[in-house]
Amino acid sequence: MTSVGLKFKTFAKVALAGAAIAVLASSTTMAQPSKDQLVVGQIQFLTNFHPLIQVNNTKRLTINYSLRPITAFDENVVNQCILCETLPTIENGLAKIVDLPDGKKGMQVTLTLRKGLAWGDGVPVTSKDIEFTWKMARDPKIGFSNYNSWDRATDLKIVDDRTVVLTLPQVLSSYNSWDQILPEHLEGPVYAANPTLDTYVKQSLYNTQPTNPGLWNGAFLLSDYQIGTRIVFQPNPHWPGTKPHLQRIIFSYRDNSSALLQNLLAGAVDAVPVSPGGISFSQMLDLRGQQPTKFKYYIDYGTNVERIAVNFDNPILQDKSVRQALLYAIDRQAISDELFGGLQPVANGILSDENAYYNKNMTIYKYDAEKAQELLASAGWKPGPDGICVNDKGERLSLELVSTAGNQTREQIAQVVQSQMKDVCVEIKNNFVPLQEFNGEMARKRRFKALMMSSIDFSPSVSPRIALGSDSIPKAENNGVGNNFSGYANPAMDEAISELEVALDPKTTKEKWAEVQKIFADDLPMLPLYFYPRAYVAVPDLVNFRQGTLDPLAIWAEEWDRK
């Protein structure tokens, strides 16, 4: 075995120690399971419950039980109505390319809410809720999420209680993908009295009264919670769709993934996601090897890429040769093979090579420590007396890597990256911080010094602008909106993204995706590591569990049952 392999085996043994302890707990006498509820083990409690502010993967996987988006992509990569009656398309006439007053082409999109939709307090969901959400989204003092945001529309006309017509200032391929809406009858007065982000977030009923049923319009209501401990969802009596089979879904929080695994084996929880937010992938593999029939193991293709954001404000990292060297120095295939059984595919960019739009002709950075050292030398970095590179000013090549505390997968990867970087004379100082600090100070305020490990999900409806557009850099002026934590700004990338967003036919879309990926690979605004498969472990009696959906699986939770 190579020295690299030995390093990974060491890390793997440490990672699996918690699982070995947990297996011993499986001999504990288990209580008879309650068939009308599902207890989901989680880590990383939400820092705030507002569905459209400071949105990340953890929040999306939680909120969608109770607040549904207008549309979502299922496991077959098919966009479908969740709250709307008919998905708008150009073919059915509900979406039209139109001439705008300024002489440019735009679109008009007609959305009609499904019949019988009501908030959890019985108040009907209406066009006024869409209009209210749209107006808030366009308020620069607030700063909503930019996944499938409402601020893409420059005008909205109410046709009737359930129908609106949205005007888009350009032709957009994502014209029929739309986020959640908010209850005007409850949040309207709060917004009117608190017109800035700081005061609104603090006074929003989503944070002061999250169990108020009128805040939620999905199949479940957020009915109870205890900070850091649990969130309870119960059926919404006013949901017009399929009535939930489960009468309670309980998110039960633990401090770390080893505790989650022990509780799963002891029967205290019925299901756990596999990182992020749950047990590590290596823990799942070990569990599957030792308990192949005790649980069901769901593993599907995923679009969620684990990446290391590179802070462009750091003078060292402004040098592209340094960024390239860092990626060459990480043996990502070895990480996948040794820690994840080869099931977490290496990310060469923001799209998986399983994606139809993947560009196989862009620059590919395979592990090459010698190449990394050559690039560092060309950038003026030579090994110093202690083995760490220094430049001609005597400055050491020392970089801080920030990630989330308690996430065992990221802690494992950070340690491996630290070890591999040392081999090419780069010092990595790992800093694991609580989730609230990570999402706030480090990410939204961009106060990480050099490198930051996190994930971002490029589902089919999401534009790469969310992480690569210069207008998606979070800053005080836009209230921290955007996931371009690197602070990357390239006019060529902005233009390529804009052209991709207006592409409606598959041929043009593929060409524009290829251009975006090529620029990304040349610039390396982030270091792609691997793609998370959509993975879950659950008790075997859980059925109708559509785990492989490309938007949050909670959107279809009313179908879940225990037999």
**Phi, psi values for residue 193, rounded to 5°:** -85, -15
* Domains assigned to the chain: 38-65+188-301+535-562 (3.40.190.10), 71-184 (3.90.76.10), 303-533 (3.10.105.10)
Token pair of 182 as six digits: 């908010």
Predicted pLDDT of residue 13: 46
Task: Please list, in sequence order, all residues whose beta carbon lies within 8 angstroms of the beta carbon of residue 279, skipping any fewer than 6 positions away.
Answer: 41, 257, 260, 261, 264, 272, 273, 287, 408, 537
- Identify the H or E element spanning 25: helix 3-25
d(CA 230, CA 250): 7
Q: How many CB atoms lie within 10 A of CB 157?
A: 13
- Identify the H or E element spanning 374: helix 369-378
**Phi, psi values for residue 544, rounded to 5°:** 60, 35
Predicted pLDDT of residue 46: 87
**Which of 323, 348, 324 is CA-nearest to residue 336?**
348
3-state secondary structure of 427: strand
d(CA 329, CA 318): 18
Task: Indicate the burial class of 1 (C-beta count within 10 angstroms; 0-12, 13-18, 19 or more).
Answer: exposed
Dihedral sign, Cα of residue 65, residue 69, residue 75, residue 81: positive
3-state SS of 446-470 is: CCCCCEEEEEEECCCCCCCHHHHCH
Cβ atoms of residues 38 and 244 within 8 Å: no
What is the separation, in whole angstroms, between the first and last Cα of the chain? 46
**Phi, psi values for residue 294, rounded to 5°:** -70, -30
pTM of the model: 0.80
Which amino acid belongs to residue 377?
A
Token pair of 211 as six digits: 């169990």
Strands 561-562 and 79-81: unpaired
- Identify the H or E element spanning 326: helix 320-328
Helix axes 491-501, 506-523, angle to 10 degrees: 160
**C-beta contacts of 499-505 below 8 A and 24+ residues apart:** 500/173, 500/463, 500/464, 501/170, 501/172, 501/173, 501/174, 501/463, 501/465, 502/170, 502/171, 502/172, 502/173, 503/173, 504/90, 504/171, 504/173
Predicted pLDDT of residue 47: 83
DSSP secondary structure, 385-415, as one string = TTSSEE-TT--B-EEEEEEETT-HHHHHHHH
Rg of the chain taking only CA atoms, in angstroms: 24
d(CA 345, CA 69): 29
d(CA 52, CA 327): 33
Tens of pLDDT along the chain (563 residues) come to: 444 454 444 444 444 444 444 444 444 344 566 889 999 999 888 888 999 988 877 888 899 999 999 999 998 889 999 999 999 999 999 999 999 998 999 999 999 999 999 999 999 999 999 999 999 999 989 988 767 789 999 999 999 999 999 999 999 999 999 999 999 999 999 999 999 999 999 999 999 999 999 999 999 999 999 999 999 999 999 999 999 999 999 999 998 889 999 999 999 999 999 877 889 888 999 999 999 999 999 998 888 899 999 999 999 999 999 999 999 999 999 998 888 888 889 999 999 888 889 999 999 999 999 999 999 999 999 999 999 999 999 999 999 999 988 787 888 899 999 999 999 999 999 999 988 898 888 998 999 999 999 988 887 778 899 999 999 999 888 888 888 999 999 999 999 999 999 888 889 999 999 999 999 999 999 999 999 888 999 999 999 999 888 889 999 999 999 99
3-state SS of 145-190 is: CCCCCHHHCCEEEECCCCEEEEEECCCCCCCCCCCCCCCHHHHHHH
Cα distances (Å, whole numbers) of residue 557 to 61, 62, 218, 242, 428:
11, 11, 10, 10, 41
Task: Please list, in sequence order, all residues whose beta carbon lies within 8 angstroms of the beta carbon of residue 84, skipping any fewer than 6 positions away.
Answer: 70, 71, 111, 112, 113, 114
**Which of 210, 203, 209, 208 is CA-nearest to residue 189?**
203
Predicted pLDDT of residue 33: 66
d(CA 410, CA 407): 6
d(CA 213, CA 206): 10
Angle (CA) 277 282 287, round 5°: 95
Token pair of 339 as six digits: 């820690």
